Amino acid sequence: MDGESDPATPEVIISGPADGRSKHPPLIFIHGAFAGAWTWAEHFLGHFADLGFACQAINLPGRKGRADHRRLHDFGIQDYTDAVTAVIDGLPVKAGKPVLVGHSMGGFVAQRAALEREVAGAVLMSSVPPTGLAGPAVALAMAKPLLIWEIARIQAVGEGTATLDTLHQAIFNERVPAEVTARLMGRFQMESHRAVMDMHAVLVPPMAGLLGRPVLVLGAEHDNLIPPAFVHGTAAFLGTYAYIFEGMGHAVMLERDWQDAAECISDWLLEVFG
């Protein structure tokens, strides 16, 4: 599907206090691969806005509906990082340093952005580890070889070849009704080949920006893409512990029990930052 056939996609979805003022640190939500800021708008932005957080969910370059969608495969992880740092730079000084909330690829981008800008902290949810995707890819190939083959085929040929079953296996646990996947299927897209390659070829893990900062590391019991072992590894790299949501799959913010995850994050934010 070409970008021109979709409604215009904003670079950032803003939610929260109308004047942008909040006693809490601003939150910048960074979506995962094959997706967009809409994943946060489904449930999370409203939840955090109701608690008084000023939220911005960024649409990374190349998303459907953006003018640069046709150049998707030109963008790498550094381009995505630059997009996030631009949002950070655009925050009012009075807002204070942001907390980055990254899911999957967005968690890896958050780690990279924290190397380039000072942040208050981060939430890494089902995040690509600091060491990249090589480990999780091998684990998926061993556990579900047909699924990784199907994902690779879709990435090579195009999102129009994806099946409902493939998407459901990749992002949800089996308890999520197929109707949910069917409703969301058309909103997913291909991911930049260059960005995917970048995550498979990590030379220096981007840990330094978050070391010593408050970091909440979260994962899901039935995550086929970033299994709990890798979530625990990310936490160990950063000197903290991971919390794993039982009965959930990769797309935690879209799961039936999404509110459990949202409340876990908001409770942590209020405890750490007030």
pLDDT digits (tens, 9 = 90+) for 123-175: 999 999 999 999 999 998 898 887 777 777 777 776 555 677 777 777 787 77
Check pLDDT > 60 for residue 235.
yes
Which residue segments constitute the domains of the chain, with CATH numbers given? 3-273 (3.40.50.1820)
Residue 195 and residue 33: Cα distance in Å, rounded? Answer: 9
Q: Which two tokens stand for residue 159?
A: 């999102």
Q: Answer yes or no: are the C-beta atoms of 9 and 187 closer than 8 Å.
A: no
What pLDDT does 17 receive? 81
pLDDT of residue 95: 86
Joined together, the tokens standing for residue 225 give 């893409």
pLDDT in tens, 24-78: 999 999 999 999 999 999 999 999 999 999 999 999 999 999 999 999 999 999 9
Q: Can you give the pLDDT at residue 5?
A: 39
For all residues of the chain together, what is the average pLDDT?
90
Angstrom distances, CA of residue 247 to CA of 210, 252, 260: 29, 10, 11
What is the pTM (predicted TM-score) of this model? 0.93
